[in-house]
């Protein structure tokens, strides 16, 4: 791997370590279980941590006792949730040592340590074995090359297996995308048309597209703006380091929320399979 790629991976791993600590702290303050993924809600319903995982499960059409890969597994919630209900063998892949440690602890707490294997690595560099399903939930926007990453994930799908991709797809102008990429350490941010092109170029066949945006809980625009101003002010007085990384992550999330509310970004799920 080139030196620049290794340095980029280390920087993303450090950023995700910080995000994992921050997510864990905020969840504990709320008395909730930490997760690295969006928490969705049905219209008129309460936020439901498991809703995203059930939607991804339906899209994957898992066989009995599946062998599945969670590429960019975060804190392990998706694969622990699905392994608890569906059984099988699961592999989780993350850049972040802290995410890996906490995902392993969650699996152990649920009695799944024999069913789940955790690996440190980029989500676009999967272990070379065949999987019934591959999940890439909010993961490939940080890939070194999203198109190559999709191709690599497609290669480890068994014939007829499914890849379930979930991402914020951003249609904003180049300046706004660059700002988000900088805040979120996400070089592969793109819009829906570009993700469709990447899937096609990776040798995958797109089976379904679902817009999950209506399930993303809305916050008051005034409250979002107020919090963003406070965080931006705090960031100006914080030296380089982990606290600044945490502030960047929160500012990036608020920037995405603004774009979603303006219609310039959508939270999408795409399901694909490998072309024979």
Residue 136, H or E segment = strand 131-137
Domain-located, residue 66: yes
Residue 146 has what pLDDT? 93
Shortest CA distance to 125 belongs to which of 94, 157, 152, 163? Answer: 152
Domain-located, residue 252: no
Domain-located, residue 140: yes
Q: Angle CA(104)–CA(106)–CA(107) in degrees, nearest 5?
A: 65
**Three-state DSSP class for 234?**
helix
Is the pLDDT score of 252 beyond 60? Answer: yes
Domain-located, residue 71: yes
Q: Which domain holds residue 159?
A: 3-215+264-274
- CB atoms inside a 10 Å sphere around CB 172: 19
Six-digit token string for 165: 């991709």
For residue range 84-121, list pLDDT tens digits in order. Answer: 999 999 999 999 999 999 999 999 999 998 999 999 98
Domain-located, residue 236: no
The CATH number for 66's domain is 3.40.50.150
Q: Is the pTM of this model over 0.85?
A: yes
Residue 78, H or E segment = helix 77-86
Residue 5 has what pLDDT? 56
How many structural domains does the chain have? 1
Domain-located, residue 176: yes
Domain-located, residue 226: no
Domain-located, residue 173: yes
């Amino acid at each position: 791997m080139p030196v620049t790629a290794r340095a980029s991976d280390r920087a993303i791993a450090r950023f995700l370590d910080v995000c994992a600590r921050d997510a864990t702290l905020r969840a504990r303050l709320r008395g909730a279980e930490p997760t690295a993924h969006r928490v969705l809600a049905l219209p008129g319903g309460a936020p439901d941590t498991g809703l995203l995982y059930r939607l991804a499960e339906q899209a994957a059409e898992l066989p009995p006792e599946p062998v599945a890969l969670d590429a960019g597994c975060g804190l392990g919630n998706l694969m622990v949730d699905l392994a608890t209900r569906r059984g099988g063998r699961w592999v989780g892949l993350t850049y972040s040592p802290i995410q890996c440690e906490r995902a392993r602890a969650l699996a152990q707490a649920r009695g799944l340590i024999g069913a789940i294997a955790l690996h440190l690595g980029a989500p676009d560099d999967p272990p070379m074995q065949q999987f019934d399903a591959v999940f890439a939930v909010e993961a490939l926007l940080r890939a070194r090359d999203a198109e190559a990453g999709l191709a690599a994930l497609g290669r480890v799908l068994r014939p007829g297996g499914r890849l379930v991709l979930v991402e914020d797809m951003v249609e904003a102008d180049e300046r706004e995308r660059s700002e988000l990429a900088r805040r979120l350490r996400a070089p592969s941010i793109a819009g829906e048309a570009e993700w469709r092109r990447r899937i096609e170029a990776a040798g995958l066949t797109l089976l379904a597209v679902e817009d999950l945006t209506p399930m993303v809980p809305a916050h008051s625009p005034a409250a979002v703006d107020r919090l963003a101003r406070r965080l931006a002010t705090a960031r100006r007085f914080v030296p380089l380091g982990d606290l600044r990384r945490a502030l960047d992550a929160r500012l990036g999330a608020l920037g995405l929320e603004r774009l979603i509310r303006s219609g310039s970004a959508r939270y999408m799920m795409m399901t694909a399979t490998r072309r024979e």
